[in-house]
């Protein structure tokens, strides 16, 4: 007998499939990927690696579906986006997934989601992205507790009735796949239905409005004020002691400016602001930290060369500097233009091979290695001496450590072809991070990022 509840559920599922066919195909594809790897039809490691590509490959049809609605010729681009699924079944994507390029791709994807409607109003762009994030969070807020309860029931039953371990493990696998991998994207698509305001979407908007104002006024903004105070206290220390800024400051300044821009964006959709004057002078507060960022970043690159992560740090610093200047001289359409600038900049240094961050980092570190080898008059296959060896020169300890780090970086990038024993000396005391001559382990001054 068909109940009203079943009828509504079936109608919702049909609506999701009709409005989002390619997104549903993507969800099913990752469900199949999980099944095939679990049963070892594909290499088992693909589940733990290629599965990480899901956010990007799901976002592609999601964006195209909203860019090209209807049944015109452009709609074909949306349907063709299903072809992006082919690599997850055929190619090992681990090199990309565990590199800074993957993080950059995620950022590009989020920026495209925020700006693809080309809204010029800052508030509208903020609301678009917050709605997207809220729907993602709501989907997991429903499926994750459901999954945990289902697992608790499953293992409790196992303990009581002593079912075979294989049966329980197989059942747990199917519970995880059906609830987390398949249901979560379907719930997100249901919450994203824009043709008819669904009950779930309405509740998400209400919850967002209830949470946003107190979160901005009593949590995020006070934290940002403390963050700014800490950075300016450190700046005062630099002035008093007349020292160069710590290499880690570049990362901290990036985090501060990004946090400031994001929280400032949220103030546009809060009902009542408390720290109005603070946000009025927020962007001028960025100027001195950004100056120190460039001084420290340029100094570290001059000393140690570029790595892939340092290239992205430079690009992010440039984007944030442009954002600060734009806010001070032009306030209209700031977020839209900032998204465009960030998308173009990150895409150039991520997807164009000749000038990608990976290529620049490898070339720079190769030059650093050649320079150090010439300085020490050694060949690429020379095994570094250990501390205590007769030919160990304590005066060259920092150079030995530097060579080891550069070789390790290049080996991880699969560009160094020397024998493995010449690249890694695990027992070598030179590679210990406690060495007083070793530089701070941040992305500006350690090549092995």
**Domains of the chain: total:** 3
Determine the pLDDT at residue 44. 63
Q: Domain check: are 305 and 230 in the same one? A: yes
Q: Domain check: are 306 and 366 in the same one? A: no
As a whole number of angstroms, the distance between CA 186 and CA 23 comes to: 9
Q: Domain check: are 368 and 417 in the same one? A: yes
Q: Domain check: are 215 and 325 in the same one? A: yes
Determine the pLDDT at residue 47. 63
Determine the pLDDT at residue 3. 52
Residue 371 lies in a domain: yes
Q: Domain check: are 289 and 218 in the same one? A: yes
Determine the pLDDT at residue 69. 83
Residue 83 lies in a domain: yes
Q: Domain check: are 372 and 274 in the same one? A: no
Residues in the chain: 449
Determine the pLDDT at residue 79. 94
Residue 228 lies in a domain: yes
Neighbours of 21 (CB within 10 A): 15
Q: Which residues, 6 or more positions from 197, have their beta carbon under 8 angstroms from its beta carbon?
A: none
Assess contact for 290 and 320: CB atoms under 8 A: yes
Determine the pLDDT at residue 314. 94
Q: pLDDT tens, 384-415?
A: 887 777 777 777 888 888 888 888 888 887 54
Last residue of a domain, one of 98, 113, 143: 98
Residue 443 lies in a domain: no
Residue 447 lies in a domain: no
Backbone angles phi, psi at 273, to 5 degrees: -100, 140
| Alpha-carbon separation of residue 72 from 23, 68, 300 (angstroms) | 19, 8, 53
Residue 139 lies in a domain: no
Q: What is the DSSP letter of 171?
A: H
Q: What is the enclosing helix (H) or strand (E) of 145? A: helix 122-161
Domain ranges, residue 66: 17-98
Q: Domain check: are 221 and 317 in the same one? A: yes
Determine the pLDDT at residue 1. 46
Q: pLDDT tens, 222-276?
A: 999 999 999 999 889 888 887 777 667 888 899 999 999 989 888 887 877 788 8
Residue 387 lies in a domain: yes
Vertex 201 angle, CA 195 and 203, to 5°: 150
Q: Domain check: are 362 and 325 in the same one? A: no
Q: Which residues, 6 or more positions from 204, have their beta carbon under 8 angstroms from its beta carbon?
A: 131, 134, 135, 138, 191
Determine the pLDDT at residue 49. 81
Last residue of a domain, one of 98, 129, 153: 98
Vertex 217 angle, CA 211 and 218, to 5°: 85
Q: Domain check: are 326 and 363 in the same one? A: no
Q: Domain check: are 301 and 236 in the same one? A: yes
Determine the pLDDT at residue 217. 87
Assess contact for 245 and 238: CB atoms under 8 A: yes
Q: Domain check: are 220 and 323 in the same one? A: yes
pLDDT by residue for the chain (449 residues), tens only, comes to 455 556 777 888 888 888 899 999 999 999 999 888 888 777 666 666 888 899 999 999 999 998 888 778 889 999 999 999 998 888 888 888 888 999 999 999 999 998 888 888 888 888 888 888 888 888 888 899 999 988 888 888 877 777 787 888 888 889 999 998 999 999 899 888 755 555 566 666 677 777 788 888 889 999 999 999 999 998 898 888 877 776 678 888 999 999 999 898 888 878 777 888 888 889 899 999 999 899 888 888 888 899 999 999 999 999 999 999 988 776 667 888 899 999 999 999 999 988 999 999 999 999 999 898 888 888 887 888 877 777 777 778 888 888 888 888 888 875 433 443 333 333 333 333 334 333 443 443 444 43
Residue 59 lies in a domain: yes
Last residue of a domain, one of 46, 79, 98: 98
Assess contact for 265 and 297: CB atoms under 8 A: no
Q: Domain check: are 410 and 300 in the same one? A: no
Instruction: Note if the pTM is more than 0.75.
Output: yes
Q: Which residue has the tokens 């690159």?
A: 301
Determine the pLDDT at residue 348. 95
């Amino acid at each position: 007998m068909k109940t009203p509840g079943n009828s509504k559920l079936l109608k919702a599922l049909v609506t999701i499939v009709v409005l989002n066919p390619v997104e549903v195909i993507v969800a099913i594809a990752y469900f199949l990927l999980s099944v095939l790897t679990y049963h070892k039809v594909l290499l088992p490691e693909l589940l733990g690696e290629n599965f990480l590509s899901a956010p990007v490959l799901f976002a592609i049809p999601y964006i195209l579906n909203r860019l090209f609605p209807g049944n015109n010729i452009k709609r074909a681009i949306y349907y063709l986006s299903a072809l992006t699924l082919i690599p997850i079944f055929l190619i090992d994507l681990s090199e990309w997934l565990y590199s800074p390029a993957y993080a950059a791709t995620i950022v590009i994807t989020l920026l495209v989601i925020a700006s693809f409607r080309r809204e010029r109003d800052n508030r509208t762009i903020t609301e678009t992205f917050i709605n997207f994030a809220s729907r993602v969070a709501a989907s997991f807020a429903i499926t994750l507790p459901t999954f945990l309860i289902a697992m608790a029931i499953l293992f409790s039953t196992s303990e009581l009735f002593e079912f075979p371990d294989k049966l329980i493990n197989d059942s747990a696998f199917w519970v995880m796949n059906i609830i987390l991998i398949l249901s979560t994207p379907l719930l997100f698509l249901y919450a994203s239905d824009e043709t008819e305001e669904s009950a779930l979407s309405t509740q998400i908007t209400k919850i967002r409005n209830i949470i946003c104002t107190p979160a901005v006024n009593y949590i995020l903004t006070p934290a940002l004020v403390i963050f700014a105070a800490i950075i300016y206290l450190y700046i005062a220390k630099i002035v008093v002691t007349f020292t160069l800024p710590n290499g880690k400051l570049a990362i901290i300044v990036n985090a501060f400016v990004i946090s400031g821009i994001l929280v400032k964006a949220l103030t546009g959709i809060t009902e009542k602001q408390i720290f109005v004057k603070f946000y009025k002078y927020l962007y001028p507060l960025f100027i001195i930290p950004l100056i120190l960022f460039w001084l420290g970043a340029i100094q570290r690159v001059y000393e140690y060369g570029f790595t892939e992560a340092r290239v992205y740090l430079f690009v992010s610093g440039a984007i944030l500097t442009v954002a600060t200047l734009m806010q001070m001289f032009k306030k209209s359409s700031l977020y839209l233009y900032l998204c465009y600038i960030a998308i173009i900049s990150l895409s150039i240094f991520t997807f164009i091979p000749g000038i990608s961050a990976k290529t620049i980092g490898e070339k720079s570190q190769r030059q650093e290695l050649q320079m150090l080898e010439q300085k020490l008059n050694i060949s690429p296959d020379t095994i570094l001496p250990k501390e205590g060896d007769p030919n160990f020169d304590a005066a060259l300890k920092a150079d030995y450590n530097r060579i080891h780090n550069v070789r390790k970086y290049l080996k991880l990038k699969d560009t160094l072809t020397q024998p493995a024993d010449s690249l890694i000396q695990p027992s070598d005391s030179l590679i210990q991070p406690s060495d007083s001559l070793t530089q701070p382990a941040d992305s500006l001054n350690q090549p092995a990022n």
